[in-house]
Structure 1
């Protein structure tokens, strides 16, 4: 099995972008650091508006969660609408719900406009009920989403079986707004589009210090500096250095395994409409097919942790439980990534200084929200108008007991997978 830091998506990504390390000082309207969905969307938006832009990435484009996730382009957040309103208020909650309901359309429109080669399939997603209580939760979500105007459909157990090709579920919630992509290729494609629009994209260029001097920000990378009128920090769960602006979140690991490409006979019986899927389990399971017909199945856990044996054993058993015909399929790839989770599961925008914003905390829903937040943060800074932000910026966001909670999640996932791998 490969290094858990090396994902399948790195192997199958065909998108490229010229992104050499920064070798000369620069002065720009907007500096962005972090080359995932948020940062690349912000850079593209600002460059299209005619601003001078410099994007700095410490590793490679999509190195963090943007290049390691499942590839589900979901509408909305993990929370149902009523919970969002309860946490942030009715008016801002409704605004965020409406913005993120349209997020998949924003993503697929960018893919079409820039010809991003990221295996886009917009056939919806299935939220699958793993138990009777899970089905009850889907009934609640269906009612709330329908009231909010979403054309979601609640499926019976038989209908879910027909759509998934698995008899393991009590029902499912179908969301036609959503879809799947090759997630790393989408991030690289956004960076390529930003570069073509005039943005300067530099990888292997970590921001080591950031200071505000004379009305400008000065970002120092190894040997070079960037002066900028405005700054967007888009590092999320892969923040390095700069302790004063480090985002507060609970780091949660999520892993995935991929089979070899399935034969045509096997593919015919599994997800015939190619929806992306996840279930209602507390320790969630996701599964989908990629363009080559690999089954990609994932769950919560750290493959670099002692629990790797439990996680890998669970995958084989879970795969056989969902699809007995895949019980003997070899697993060719296994990888993981970090999720920045907030206590209320709502993304945060923090004001880290004058004309400087940071976003984090997508809690496992980064593709659509990251695209939207990056675009709107850039629009807000260029216009000098905070009302353009998707959620109001806060001066700081705190999370308590992050290490303890991270250990709790990992231990719980490992124990659950260990038990389910044996029985």
Structure 2
């Protein structure tokens, strides 16, 4: 199983390649990181007529955007009431409202730019992994319904019919959400941004960024950018940049495995409605299918070798008829997890912002945060940003927390594997 590779790279219908930055250029907006956030920012800034350049150290979607589960969710892990408790009622409800519309922006962009990313908007299922977990889903349902969200609770029998397994005790269905092929979506955003006039540069790591004489001087191995504004959109894949200090954030790793394509005779009842799923477990598990009929199982943890036995066992527990089915792909990615699970927008200097900490919700939030940040930087008006800008951010015990998450996942999976 280890070393089988990332399904999204093997199956992406969208292709996109770009050359490294060479020479010097002046732009209105420089963006570091070609993931959902940076590419959405580039697309929307270019759409406003701005001169934009995106600098990516590897390739488009190389980071979390190309390793994502592919669930286009509305909102965060946190229930909306908790968001308001942390941010306050006004800013909290603003963030809730922005993220409630995030799936619509994603699917609208897909339709507008003809992005071939297996877009399916049939909702998602938040699954109760234990009987007591239904109380959490009931609370979330009440909070979301009070805000007008099209959500409904599903009992255990109906959940079994929708998922094809009787291992869950109910579910919360959110009709706003859906699934995509995440790497294809990222590449499609890059193509659309390029078509709108943005310069996309791959294999272009940024070594230094310094504000001098009213502009940002951004240095790469092959050239320099001079920019009026700067957006750092590297999230969990940030690399050190001289003169710019973005705070470290605890990292959670998440792995996935995918079966071979499975026909309806064997797996036709597994998520037949096309929903994507994740459960309420503290060490979360996700399940979905792709356009070719593969079953894709995900779980917390970064070492695919270590977690492989649990993953294979879990897949068989959920769907006994898949025992012995070939596993064709296995891969992992990193998640930037803030202590309160809320994203941050931090001021990095004059006309510069950094966005980080989606805590596992990269597609919808990344798309809307990127758009909002680009428009705020170009206009100078930050009032429409999803969260207030902070001047600094600090996380305690970053390395220990990252180790804690991985160790916890290993222990839970080891116990489950012996069970």
TM range (shorter): over 0.9
1:247 aligns with 2:263: no
Identify the residue that residue 11 of structure 2 maps to in structure 1.
12
Identify the residue that residue 331 of structure 2 maps to in structure 1.
335
Identify the residue that residue 199 of structure 1 maps to in structure 2.
198
Identify the residue that residue 276 of structure 2 maps to in structure 1.
276
Superposed CA deviations along residues 122-169 of structure 1, whole A, max 9, x for unmatched, are: 000000001012111101101111111111000000111111111011
Identify the residue that residue 72 of structure 1 maps to in structure 2.
71
1:57 aligns with 2:56: yes
Contact 1:111 1:186 in 2 (8 A): yes
Paired with 2:143 and 2:269, the residues of 1 have a C-alpha distance of 32
Superposed CA deviations along residues 150-201 of structure 1, whole A, max 9, x for unmatched, are: 1100000011111111101110000000000000110111011000000000
Match of 1:350 among 342, 346, 350: 346
Paired with 2:222 and 2:281, the residues of 1 have a C-alpha distance of 48
Shift of 1:108: 0.2
**Count of residue pairs brought into register by the alignment:** 418
Identify the residue that residue 379 of structure 1 maps to in structure 2.
375
Superposed CA deviations along residues 264-313 of structure 1, whole A, max 9, x for unmatched, are: 21231211101000000111000000000000001000126xxx33x111
Match of 2:398 among 396, 402, 406: 402
What is the DSSP-based 3-state SS (H/G/I as helix, E as strand, rest coil) of the residue aligned with 1:257?
A: strand
Superposed CA deviations along residues 36-72 of structure 1, whole A, max 9, x for unmatched, are: 0000000000000000001000000001000001000
1:287 aligns with 2:287: yes
Identify the residue that residue 116 of structure 1 maps to in structure 2.
115
Superposed CA deviations along residues 4-53 of structure 1, whole A, max 9, x for unmatched, are: 7x411001112123411111211000000100000000000000000000
TM-score (norm 1): 0.97
Shift of 1:2: 5.1
Paired with 2:116 and 2:2, the residues of 1 have a C-alpha distance of 24
Paired with 1:141 and 1:321, the residues of 2 have a C-alpha distance of 27
Q: How does 1:248-263 map to 2 (within 5 A)?
A: 248-263=248-263
Paired with 2:269 and 2:109, the residues of 1 have a C-alpha distance of 32
Shift of 1:327: 1.6
1:300 aligns with 2:300: yes
1:153 aligns with 2:152: yes
Alpha-carbon RMSD across the aligned residues, in angstroms, is 1.1
Instruction: Name whichever of 338-347 and 313-322 sits farther off.
Output: 313-322
Shift of 1:223: 3.0
Instruction: Name whichever of 242-251 and 205-214 sits farther off.
Output: 242-251
1:389 aligns with 2:385: yes
1:367 aligns with 2:363: yes
Contact 1:247 1:360 in 2 (8 A): no
1:190 aligns with 2:189: yes
Identify the residue that residue 44 of structure 1 maps to in structure 2.
43
TM-score (norm 2): 0.98
Paired with 2:151 and 2:126, the residues of 1 have a C-alpha distance of 11
Contact 2:35 2:63 in 1 (8 A): yes
Identify the residue that residue 218 of structure 2 maps to in structure 1.
219
Paired with 2:300 and 2:356, the residues of 1 have a C-alpha distance of 19
Contact 2:151 2:173 in 1 (8 A): yes
Structure 1: stretches of 5+ with no match in the other structure: none
Superposed CA deviations along residues 324-370 of structure 1, whole A, max 9, x for unmatched, are: 11121111111000000001100000000000000000000000000
Q: How does 1:77-92 map to 2 (within 5 A)?
A: 77-92=76-91
